[in-house]
Amino acid sequence: MTKLIAGNWKMNGSLTANEALLRALASGLPQALPCDVAVCIPAPYFAQFQALAAATPALAAVALGAQDISSQPAGAFTGEVSATMLKDFACRYAIVGHSERRQYHGETDALVAAKAQQALAVGITPIVCVGETLAEREAGQTTEVVKRQLAAVIQANGHCISEIVLAYEPVWAIGTGKTASPEEAQTVHAVLRAQLAAATAHASRVKIIYGGSMNAANAASLLAQPDIDGGLIGGAALKAADFLSIISAAS
């Protein structure tokens, strides 16, 4: 299957820095992309991305993604950004349930499932993040934790579950420089694939991507695993050369 390399810029960027990064990406991208490419950027910069992409042919194939989405369709929810608002900017993806949102904003499995539902309702592909903490891994709970997190999304979304992208992001590997080994990651991806297969006949089509200190040096070995269908890249997505190397490793 075509792999997906998605950058998660997190709360980084500025008008000036974004333009430099996107222009550097545009000039380094091959004419025919070897994989699907997306950048999940802070919402205030969607219009900037749209304008640059419209004026820069090499960026036309780079999809826009959001880092979060409201669980509600509209109304009195101060500070939230709805699925239809994202759609106005031709957002193709929205990350939901990133561990930083679960950890710092108290997002529950049920809320994450509702967010995925909002995205799917307007045709945005939710990138659903699951992953265990270091304490959970050391307690032997990895499988139980990721299965619980995915089960909530399956339960709320029924047969539409085949339309999601699933991201396995072990919390202990995020921003730490400590990557799951290709074998460790593959083991969890296989568990998730089996869980999807019990819910949909199309589980083999669902992209299950890995995130957590993926970089130019380790991307190829991770992406060579049978159930690793791409990457969700934090730090390395902020450096054009690194992001471009990961993209070329996904061919």
Nearer Cβ to ligand 13P, position 196 or 222? 222
Rounded CA separation 181/214 (Å): 10
CB-count burial class (<10 Å; 0-12, 13-18, 19+) for 50: middle
Nearer Cβ to ligand 13P, position 126 or 211? 211
Residue 218 in the binding site for ligand 13P (CB under 6 A)? no
Tokens read off for 33: 């992309």
Q: Which of residues 128-187 bind ligand 13P (CB under 6 A)?
A: 169, 174-175
Among 213, 218, 225, 245, binds ligand 13P (CB under 6 A): 213
Give helix 109-121 / helix 142-157 axis angle, nearest 10°: 40
3-state secondary structure of 86: helix
Residue 8 in the binding site for ligand 13P (CB under 6 A)? yes
Residue 97 in the binding site for ligand 13P (CB under 6 A)? no
Smallest distance from the beta carbon of 158 to ligand 13P, in angstroms? 26
Active site residue 169: yes
Residues in contact with 222: Cβ distance below 8 Å, sequence separation at least 6, in sequence order: 179, 182, 185, 210, 214, 228, 231
Active site residue 100: no
Among 35, 232, 240, 249, binds ligand 13P (CB under 6 A): 232
Nearest to 123 by CA among 165, 72, 83, 180: 83
Active-site annotation, residues: 98, 169
| Residues found near ligand 13P in the complex (CB under 6 A) | 8, 98, 169, 174-175, 211-214, 232-236
